């Protein structure tokens, strides 16, 4: 999920994306979008629960094979080649930070804002392996989001997907990309007469600080399709560290950890991504239907706002044809969905 090498689509694709963005950024659709019309929205509410204890557990994590890299470079008209993280992740997580309060991780840092009255401008863009929103925020400090872990269905080939929130962009301009989310993958395990007859799915939470570390799989918080998860990522400038809290409200469990990192700058994201493999190339997107991000809000030097309160870029995943398309932002200013279209 790092933005180290983003590829903007051709002018014709961007024009098509602008058409997809025609509905108001504040108007959420309630039905699947047509390929050449409006985007999909399925604003499912995320259930809340009371955690088992007042403190988030220390997170444990191990290196993962997935790489989370955005692929968009201004001015490029060619499909992107994803560049992977260069460093090796650590295998154990560090001390947990402050516990969530009433199902809101890092509530002492982030206070949920009121509904956005005047939405900020939204512009369209096409990236090769991201779909969602990137908000422009001066001095980004934290971001919060919730979603239902989507089920990964066989898309005709091995498929990979990740939902995440993060700060920064992984570039010299946007600083380190610190992010956390959940993976939903499906891989063929048996082939008969050239056709896949059995496949295996995998679901897990993860964290990443790109480019200093590659993805780290969280090993002491289980997730499954249908679980309501809540994720907060926070950067503490005085400490030079990023803090992560991940909660599963089906199991009423939270874990937290921190990593040393440089400052994320200028942006924060809520994204559905097709991850890249060991060769650095983006893999096919798993069919995850139309998952919904909700309660998306972020804090910067100008305060805490819902997603719609920040100027943002609405990103369609495209390699010439759309792979996944985000809906407009809901009237509450903090919810949107992403509609799967094709694997690659």
Q: What is the pLDDT of residues 30-63, one digit of tens each?
A: 222 222 223 333 333 333 434 443 457 787 776 6
Any domain includes 254: yes
Any domain includes 1: no
pLDDT for res 110? 64
Q: What is the pLDDT of residues 138-158, one digit of tens each?
A: 999 999 999 999 999 988 999
Any domain includes 5: no
Any domain includes 4: no
pLDDT for res 19? 39
For residue 280, pLDDT beyond 90: no
Any domain includes 2: no
Q: Give yes or no for a contact between 250 and 52, defined as CB atoms under 8 angstroms apart.
A: no
Any domain includes 162: yes
For residue 104, pLDDT beyond 80: no
Cα–Cα nearest to 163, from 307, 293, 42: 293
Q: Give yes or no for a contact between 249 and 49, defined as CB atoms under 8 angstroms apart.
A: yes
pTM: 0.74
Q: Quote the tokens at residue 291.
A: 């998952």
For residue 206, pLDDT beyond 50: yes
Residue 249: domain span: 11-340
Task: For residue 118, name the pLDDT band (cuts at 50, 70, 90).
Answer: confident
Give the CATH number for residue 304: 2.60.120.700
Could you give phi then psi for residue 117, rounded to 5 degrees?
-90, -45
Any domain includes 3: no
Q: Which residue has the tokens 């204890």?
A: 53
Any domain includes 186: yes
Number of domains in the chain: 1
């Amino acid at each position: 999920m790092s933005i180290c090498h983003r590829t903007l689509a051709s002018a014709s694709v961007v024009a098509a994306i602008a058409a997809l963005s025609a509905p108001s950024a504040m108007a959420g659709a309630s039905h699947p979008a047509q390929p050449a019309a409006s985007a999909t929205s399925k604003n499912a509410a995320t259930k809340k629960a009371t955690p088992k204890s007042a403190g988030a557990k220390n997170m444990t994590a191990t290196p993962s094979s997935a790489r989370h890299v955005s692929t968009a470079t201004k001015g490029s008209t060619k499909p992107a080649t994803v560049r992977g993280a260069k460093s090796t992740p650590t295998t154990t997580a560090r001390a947990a930070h402050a516990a969530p309060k009433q199902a809101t991780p890092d509530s002492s840092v982030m206070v949920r804002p009121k509904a956005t009255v005047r939405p900020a401008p939204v512009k369209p863009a096409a990236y090769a392996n991201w779909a969602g929103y990137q908000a422009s925020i001066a001095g980004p400090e934290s971001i919060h989001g919730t979603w239902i872990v989507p089920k990964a269905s066989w898309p005709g080939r091995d498929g990979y997907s990740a939902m995440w929130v993060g700060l920064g962009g992984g570039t010299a301009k946007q600083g380190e990309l610190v992010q956390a989310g959940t993976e939903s993958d499906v891989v063929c395990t048996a082939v008969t007469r050239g056709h896949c007859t059995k496949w295996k799915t995998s679901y897990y939470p993860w964290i990443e600080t790109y480019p200093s570390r590659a993805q780290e799989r969280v090993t002491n918080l289980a997730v499954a399709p249908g679980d309501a998860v809540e994720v907060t990522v926070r950067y503490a400038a005085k400490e030079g560290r990023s803090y992560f809290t991940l909660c599963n409200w089906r199991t009423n469990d939270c874990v937290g950890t921190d990593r040393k990192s440089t400052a994320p700058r200028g942006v924060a994201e809520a994204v559905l991504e097709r991850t890249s493999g060991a060769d650095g190339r983006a893999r096919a997107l798993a069919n995850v239907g139309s998952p919904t991000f909700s309660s998306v809000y972020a804090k910067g030097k100008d305060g805490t706002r819902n997603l719609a309160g920040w100027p943002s870029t609405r990103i369609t995943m495209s390699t010439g044809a759309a792979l996944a398309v985000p809906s407009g932002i809901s009237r509450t200013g903090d919810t949107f969905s992403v509609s799967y279209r094709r694997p690659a």
